[in-house]
Amino acid sequence: MNQPTANPPRTAAADADRAVPPARMASRGVTDDQTASATPVAHTAPPTGEEHPRTAPLAIHDMTVAYDRKPVLWDVDLNVPEGQLVAIVGPNGAGKSTLIKAALNLMPMVSGQVLIYGKPYRKQRHLVGYVPQRETVDWDFPVSALDVVAMGRYGRIGWFRPVTRKHRRAALDALERVEMAQYAHRQISQLSGGQQQRVFLARALAQDAKLYFMDEPFASVDAATERAIVRVLHELKDAGRTVIVVHHDLQTVTEYFDYLILLNMRVVTHGPVDDVFTQENLRMTYGGRLTLLSEAAQLFTQQSRSPRVD
Amino acid sequence: MNWLISDTWTIVIGSLCAVACALPGALLVLRRMSMMGDAISHTVLPGLAIAFLLTHSRAPLAMFIGAAVIGVATAFFIQGVQKLGKTESGASMGIVFTTLFAVGLVLMRQAVDHVDIDPDCVLYGAIETAGTTWQYITLLGVTAPRAVFVNGGAMVVNLVLIALLYKEFKISAFDPALATTLGISATLMHYLLMTMTAATAVAAFESVGSILVIAMFIVPPATAYLLTDRLAVMMVLSAVFGVLAAVFGHVAAIIVPPWFGFEGTSTAGMMAVVAGLLFALVWLASPRYGVLARMYHRLVMSMHVLCEDVMGLLYRLEELTDTQPATMPVADMTQALVARAWLVRRALGSLGRQRMIRRGDLGYVLTDAGRDQARQLVRSHRLWESYLAHYLRLPADHLHDPANRLEHAHELADKVDVALGRPETDPQGKTIPSRDNQ
């Protein structure tokens, strides 16, 4: 399904050719002319520069993100529809986690704008829940599962105030929803990997958000945890919440999700799973690793480090 | 031993300092930034020197502010060097704090020409003399050594900050990304912790010196971490260990050196030594993660396994010789089990007390109860062998050892039995005993 092709697809190469030079990139504001940005070439992709409806849970406008001046995401432009389970799919290094982190204001953007229900993130924190990758925290930290889940309530509790019984109750309810209530008082290192992931999920539930970002929740979990996650995803959907999940397993995309964003350094295409999940689009996402874009990025890094020799 | 009022004050000062350091120290240890405390307490020195050179006075407040500012700047620089210079955190700490410390020494030379700042005092502090009468000041109607107010103040400020911001500190130490998305800026909390660390180090520095400050930041929290898996408990225990180190450190500084024919020694040094000894003691004796506890559990476990092996051996002997009860001399048994003789004797004693075996003519024989249990064991062993042969396709000569380990999981034997479709013989053709005696 994702056999790498020897040559990058023609369309992707064309895309790269139109990439913005770095000098312009830094100075590019939000109001810049849209025609300069790379136009998605896949069949179902809406044209760039579309209207960003104020009600969209997540509207990303022309986002470019760089690590160390090396661009990892180019001109991402998309709206996520409300009340859907959305998968972000793409090869390693495609910038899936980066997209989430930049949307959550955890890393700076070179250019672009992110709106959560029509407003900047810092005004909408209370509407957003986040499940980071499991490996990003120290599981030897001296806290219980319940303590970790209660952290989901901290935003609601507010500065300087202690965690009250009401919030602990809410945390315990969240643990019950992922069938982990009996482990509430375990120290978190004594849980299995799947159980730890469920604790993270419970913490997100305790946040009681309208829009969720989950970074690889299905990565190396047992079957019971996978079922628990899927069940929770459906509960969230039934309650009208929007969930954006970084996903790596192509086998389950159509089964678990409604909406698909194919990402490889830029949005290859996005839309309802049934329309977007095609051989053609997957080949464009996974095929050839977009060598020209990578080479361009490599070139900028070198230029920024050493003086030009030619 | 001649106990003076100043000795009591020394202990009070040491304890206040210990508690003040333990609170931010616990967070430093958990965030794997222990050496940040080290770095910051070293850069107190250039802070003091710069403050002196700027203000030309030794006014305590100027000194305090100078040192605290440089302490926080150290944290900034370390972050900066790490990011811009692409060095790992340990290396960037090494670069920043040695440079700043050396600058401090150079500046200090300049300052020393004008005033008396004693370099010894910088390292070891002057906690012994901090309690003498000429150091007394009166504040809010209380007369006590100045160091008591300084360290007590640091302790109170730290206690209040940690109490108010407990959950904020907790989440930004555990999951900075989530903290930041919730609006609790992990960066802000990081620099608040750095400021606390710097201020505490400055407060403690004068009385206890930089070595003890580092010890108090790291050792008591590391000791407490061995004993608990709750953050609040860890902080309380850190404070307790800090106070214990202060009390026993000073007492030891007075009474231990005369044993070896010396006169007293540095109290601050001794407090750090006691803190280290407490860590060693807890590491050995902690009930859950302690070395002794683990050794004990391993011994209990291996004794349990050995007891089962003895019964299994006697059961197989009965099968082989077709006699009931069969017996075997203890020496042969030891050889057959490849175990130490004294362990086998203990296992036999234990089985005898449980009435699983009794003395026979030559050695020991199984009782009826023992035979029942041994049958379960042999059944488990042969079922596991069949399981390994069937599912893992292990060759016959690879079956015995893993099965020997797995057989002690008898609870699973029935499940294995079902999974294999209730076989009657194992891969070697030996009969698998039935669950109940027939």
Range B77-106 average pLDDT: 88
Residue B380 has pLDDT above 90, yes or no: no
Residues of A in contact with B177 (CB under 8 A): 101, 106, 130, 132, 136
Residue B34 has pLDDT above 60, yes or no: yes
Q: What is the pLDDT of residue A16?
A: 40
Flag if A125 and B30 touch (Cβ within 8 Å): no
pLDDT in tens, B246-299: 999 999 988 888 788 777 677 888 899 999 999 999 999 888 778 888 888 888
Closest CA to A90 of A277, A302, A306: A277
Residue A17 has pLDDT above 60, yes or no: no
Q: What is the pLDDT of residue A51?
A: 63
Least confident residue range of A32-36, B183-187, B322-326: A32-36
Domains of chain B: 5-286 (1.10.3470.10), 294-419 (1.10.10.10)
Residue A169, CA distances (Å) to A150, A151, A158 in order: 9, 13, 17
ipTM passes above 0.85:
no
- Give chain A as a DSSP string: --PPPSS--HHHHHHHHTPPPHHHHHH--TTS-GGGSPPP-STTPPPTT----TT-SEEEEEEEEEETTEEEEEEEEEEE-TT-EEEEE--TTSSHHHHHHHHTTSS--SEEEEEETTB-GGG-GGGEEEE--GGGS-TTSS-BHHHHHHGGGHHHH-TT----HHHHHHHHHHHHHTT-GGGTTSBGGGS-HHHHHHHHHHHHHHH--SEEEEESTTTT--HHHHHHHHHHHHHHHHTT-EEEEEE--GGGHHHH-SEEEEESSSEEEEEEHHHH--HHHHHHHHGGGGHHHHHHHHHHHHHHHS----
Our measurement of the distance from residue B393's CA atom to the centroid of its chain's CA atoms, rounded to an integer in Å, reads 43
A124 phi and psi angles, rounded to 5 deg: -120, 20
Confidence of residue A292 (pLDDT cuts 50, 70, 90): low
Flag if B177 and A106 touch (Cβ within 8 Å): yes
Residues of B in contact with A137 (CB under 8 A): 174-175
- How far is it, in rounded angstroms, from Cα A59 to Cα A114? 6
More confident residue, A40 or B168: B168
Shortest Cα distance, chain A CAs vs residue B251, angstroms:
33
Range A276-303 average pLDDT: 72
Q: What is the pLDDT of residue B293?
A: 86
Q: Report yes or no: B183 at the A interface, CB cutoff 8 Å.
A: yes
Confidence of residue A14 (pLDDT cuts 50, 70, 90): very low
Alpha helices in B260-340 (DSSP H): 267-285, 291-321, 330-337
Q: Report yes or no: B345 at the A interface, CB cutoff 8 Å.
A: no
Closest CA to B213 of B155, B259, B173, B272: B272
More confident residue, A309 or B233: B233
Residue A115, CA distances (Å) to A60, A77, A88 in order: 6, 11, 18
Q: Report yes or no: B169 at the A interface, CB cutoff 8 Å.
A: no
Confidence of residue B44 (pLDDT cuts 50, 70, 90): confident
Average pLDDT, chain B: 86
Closest CA to B370 of B392, B393, B347, B389: B347
Least confident residue range of A187-191, B244-248, B311-315: B311-315
pLDDT in tens, A168-190: 999 999 999 999 999 999 999 99
The 3-state DSSP class for residue B100 equals: helix
Shortest Cα distance, chain B CAs vs residue A301, angstroms:
15
- How far is it, in rounded angstroms, from Cα A293 to Cα A94? 11
- How far is it, in rounded angstroms, from Cα B93 to Cα B325? 72
Total CB pairs under 8 A between chain A and B: 75
Of A136, A162, A189, the CB nearest to B177: A136
In contact, A279 and A295? CB cutoff 8 Å:
no
Q: Which of B29, B164, B166, B181 is the best mutation test for A, with the most CBs of A within 10 A? A: B181
pLDDT in tens, B106-135: 887 776 666 555 666 666 677 777 767 667
Query: How wide is the angle at C-alpha B170 spanned by C-alphas B164 and B174, nearest 5°?
Result: 165
Q: Which of B30, B167, B234 is the best mutation test for A, with the most CBs of A within 10 A? A: B167
Residue A22 has pLDDT above 90, yes or no: no
Residue B179 has pLDDT above 90, yes or no: yes
Contacts of B211 (CB under 8 A, 6+ apart): B123, B124, B268, B269, B272
Residue A309 has pLDDT above 50, yes or no: no
Q: What percent of chain B has pLDDT over 90?
A: 29
- Does an H or E element contain B416, and which? helix B413-419
Residue A30 has pLDDT above 60, yes or no: no
Q: Which residue of A has its CA nearest to B234?
A: A142
Residue B435 is classified by DSSP as: S
Residue B17 has pLDDT above 90, yes or no: yes
Residue B235 has pLDDT above 90, yes or no: yes
Residue B346 has pLDDT above 70, yes or no: yes
Q: Report yes or no: A46 at the B interface, CB cutoff 8 Å.
A: no
Residue A207 has pLDDT above 70, yes or no: yes
Flag if A162 and B182 touch (Cβ within 8 Å): no
Q: What is the pLDDT of residue A2?
A: 42
Structure tokens given for B317: 């002997």
- How far is it, in rounded angstroms, from Cα B355 to Cα B352? 5
- How far is it, in rounded angstroms, from Cα B185 to Cα B307? 58
Confidence of residue B437 (pLDDT cuts 50, 70, 90): low
Query: How wide is the angle at C-alpha A69 spanned by C-alphas A65 and A70, nearest 5°?
Result: 75
Q: What is the pLDDT of residue B302?
A: 87
Q: What is the pLDDT of residue B430?
A: 82
Flag if A130 and B170 touch (Cβ within 8 Å): no
Flag if B180 and A106 touch (Cβ within 8 Å): yes
- How far is it, in rounded angstroms, from Cα A218 to Cα A255? 14
Flag if B174 and A136 touch (Cβ within 8 Å): no
Shortest Cα distance, chain B CAs vs residue A41, angstroms:
33
The 3-state DSSP class for residue B132 equals: coil
Tokens 């250039």 map to which residue?
Answer: B46
Q: Which residue of B has its CA nearest to A214?
A: B178
Residue B69 has pLDDT above 80, yes or no: yes
